[in-house]
Amino acid sequence: MTWRYDVELNTLKTGIHGDFTVSTSDELYSSQPMLDLLVHAYESHAKNKKTLIFNNGIFTPEK
């Protein structure tokens, strides 16, 4: 089963190639409201089940 949530992407800026910029994408997808939505979706649809979550962007912490 697949679940999808529509989110407001109007805060994302586009780069020279038309893709969303990494910085604005990271900012949106790591924001507290987005993380709260992720937890809500998991608890509503997948809690205690094997789950695969796709998210936009790749975060690499600095060492």
pLDDT in tens, 2-28: 888 888 888 899 999 998 888 898 888
- What is the pLDDT, as a whole number, of residue 2? 81
The DSSP call for residue 21 is P
Residue 23 half-sphere exposure toward CB, CA atoms < 13 A: 3
**Whole-angstrom distance, CA of residue 49 vs CA of residue 19:** 33
**Whole-angstrom distance, CA of residue 57 vs CA of residue 42:** 19
- What does pLDDT average to over the chain? 84
Give Cβ neighbours of residue 53 (< 8 Å, ≥ 6 apart): 38, 42
Three-state SS string over 3-18 comes to: CCCCCCCCCCCECCCC
